[in-house]
Structure 1
Amino acid sequence: LRVFGFNERAIKLYTKIGFKQEGIVKEALFRNGAWHDVIHMGLLQSEYTVKFT
């Protein structure tokens, strides 16, 4: 998946459920007068475990 670097809540959620950062595209989005990174995250099927809490 891809997420914008300024979306800290989404990044925290994706990390919590097991996604890992695989790469960054630096300054890929110009929004509201500033450049932002796009973060690529991934999760392999073999790494996925269902967690109910």
Structure 2
Amino acid sequence: MNLAAWAERNGVARVSAWATTQRVVVDKVVTEVGAALGGHRRRFLTLLGDPAVT
């Protein structure tokens, strides 16, 4: 099993389930795997730059 598959099954499912119990609407799920040291998270940076994301 690779890290991306593990994160998809465990992390995303757990956070999505929590959001549902808190009545938080999840419009889009974005996942990225890797070290956070370089600041090169393309998908995350796209979300930060999107004025529609609150």
- Higher RCO structure (Cα 8 Å, ≥6 apart): 1
Q: TM-score, normalised by structure 1?
A: 0.31
Structure in which a larger fraction of residues adopt helix: 2
Structure in which a larger fraction of residues adopt strand: 1
Q: TM-score, normalised by structure 2?
A: 0.31
